[in-house]
Amino acid sequence: MMMNFMMIIGFAFWLVGALFCVYQIYRMVELDARCRGLKHPKLWGVFSAGGNNQSGLILYLIGRKRFAIESMTVQQQKEMDGRKKKIGAGLVFLVLGAIICVWCIMLME
């Protein structure tokens, strides 16, 4: 019974970390697209954050090379740096949840 509870907690940590990372990627791409002057930056954010193998993010990174950064304020640069740090926190949650889940599976057998 306790292992099932721990497994649920591990899965919850993993899920929160994964969703948090995807949201931060969405916001970073949206900000980058806005600074580069691309049309529909929110659509680019959704396109890059979605998908199983992150092919949208790869296509965005390839396609953005044609557009130089028009203007990025100091506040936008600070926001971008803060989002990079938040992705690190999300990855910690994701890895911690995965470790808890694997540990529970190993102890159940």
Say what the pLDDT of residue 2 is: 84
Whole-model pTM? 0.85
In a domain, 103, yes or no: yes
Burial of 13 per CB tally in 10 Å (0-12, 13-18, 19+) = buried
In a domain, 30, yes or no: yes
83 pLDDT exceeds 80? yes
C-alpha separations of 37 from 14, 31, 42, 68, 75 in Å? 35, 10, 12, 8, 17
Average pLDDT for residues 18-31, to the nearest whole number? 94
Question: Which domain range does residue 45 map to?
Answer: 2-49+72-108
In a domain, 78, yes or no: yes
Ranges 9-18, 40-49, 53-62, 80-89: which has the least confidence: 53-62
Say what the pLDDT of residue 82 is: 96
Q: How many CB atoms lie within 10 A of CB 79?
A: 15
In a domain, 102, yes or no: yes
Q: How confident is the prediction for the chain on average, in pLDDT?
A: 90
The number of domains in the chain is 1
In a domain, 42, yes or no: yes
Say what the pLDDT of residue 63 is: 86
Question: C-alpha angle 98/99/101, rounded to 5°?
Answer: 65
